[in-house]
Amino acid sequence: MSTTRVIAFANQKGGVGKTTTAVNLAAYLAERSQDMLVIDLDPQANATSALGIEKQPGHSAYAALLEEGQLPGEVIQTAIKGLDLIPSEPDLAGAEIDIAQSEHYLHCFQKALAPLLAEDRYDYIFIDCPPSLGILTSNALTAAHTLIIPVQCEYLALEGLSIMTRIIEQLRTGGANPELTLDGIVMTMFDGRTRLALQVMEEVKKHFGERVYETFIPRTVRLSEAPSFGQPIMLYDPRGTGAQAYHALAKEFLRRHRSAHHSPFGEGGTTDPPSPERFGGQATDLSRVTRDDGHQTTDATEDETVKAEPTPPFSPPVAETET
C-alpha cells in the first residue's frame, strides 16, 4: 500500500496564499529530507512559475485527466533537491469543460494519480488548487487524503471557511471521498500592525481550535517578490521573516504528522469537528459556486517590514498600533 499522503491546498477565495504556502512549505519539507511533489492544478500556473519552471504547452496534468497521458511522465525536477513539480499551463482551463462531460467527472484526477501513488516514491504530494470550487478543485479534493486551507488574516475569513467545511462534508457524506479530512488551517499575510489581523486569528482559532497551525505567516514584501524571480523564499531570502515562518511551518507540519495524537478533523479529533452551521454556512452546491479569483486587498498598507517581528513558533504578537 502506498504511504504517500496527498494534500490539497484549497480555498475558493482568490489570493489568500494557497500557492505561496504549497510551494514554500514543500521546499522546506524537501530540505528536511521529505520526497515532495507539487502538482499545479491551477491554469494560472503560479506554482509552476514560482518554482522557476517555464510553462510549456502540452505539459501539465491535462492529458492524464482525460486518460490520454500519464502523470509520472509530466514530473519535472526543480532547483530544490527532493522537490518535483507537475507543471500547469493555461490550457488546463479547458479540462474543466472536458471533464464535465465525463461520467465519473469527480474521479478523473484520482484515477490519474493512481500510478504515482503505486510508485510510492513521494512522502507528500501537494496539489495547488485554483481559486474556485469548480471541477479541478473538486477533483483534487476527491483525490486527496487531507486538505490544508490557507486563510488570509482578513475580514470575512470565517465566511470562506464555512464554505470549505461544507464542501468537505459534502464530499464525505456524498461518497465522493468519505476519508477526506481537514489537515489544518494556515493563517497567512498576518500584519501585526492591525487589530483586525489579530481578531481574525483569534476568531478562527476559537472555531477551529487545534486545526489551526500555531505557525502563522507574516505579510512580507520578500514573499511577494520571490515568485517573480522563480524562487521559493528559501532561495530568495533565506534569512527573512517569511522564510523563518515557512521553515517553522514545515517543522510544525512534520511534528503534527509524526505525532500519534494528531487526529485530523473527521477522524475523531479531540476538539469538536467544526460545524459550518456554527457560523452561518449556507449549503453549497459544487456546480453552482462561481469563481472568485480577484486577489484580496487589505485595509492595511502593504508592509515594508512586519512591525512586530515574530520569532518561532510565531505566537501572535500584540498589535502595537491600530490602523
Confirm or reject binding of residue 306 to ligand ATP (CB under 6 A): no
Confirm or reject binding of residue 46 to Mg ion (CB under 5 A): yes
Among 156, 146, 210, 201, which residue's Cα sits nearest to residue 12? 156
Q: Is the dihedral of CA 165, 43, 254, 145 positive or negative?
A: positive
Nearest approach, Cβ of residue 11 and ligand ATP (Å): 6
Confirm or reject binding of residue 240 to ligand ATP (CB under 6 A): no
Binding-residue total with ligand ATP (CB under 6 A): 22
Confirm or reject binding of residue 223 to ligand ATP (CB under 6 A): yes
Assess contact for 28 and 83: CB atoms under 8 A. no
Nearest approach, Cβ of residue 46 and Mg ion (Å): 5
Q: Which entry of ligand ATP, Mg ion, none binds 223, CB below 5 to 8 A by partner kind?
A: ligand ATP
The smaller minimum CB distance to Mg ion, of residues 4 and 46, is found at: 46
Of 180-209, binders to ligand ATP (CB under 6 A) are: 188-189
Q: Could you write out the DSSP letters of every residue in 1-63? A: ---PEEEEE--SSTTSSHHHHHHHHHHHHHHTT--EEEEE--TT-HHHHHTTPPP-TT-SSHH
Nearest approach, Cβ of residue 47 and Mg ion (Å): 7
Tell me the CA distances in angstroms from 174 to 28, 113, 184, 189, 285, one per residue in order: 35, 21, 22, 34, 12
* Interacting residue ranges for Mg ion, rule: CB under 5 A: 18-19, 46
* Interacting residue ranges for ligand ATP, rule: CB under 6 A: 14-20, 42, 44, 46, 131, 188-189, 217, 219-220, 223-224, 227, 242, 293, 295
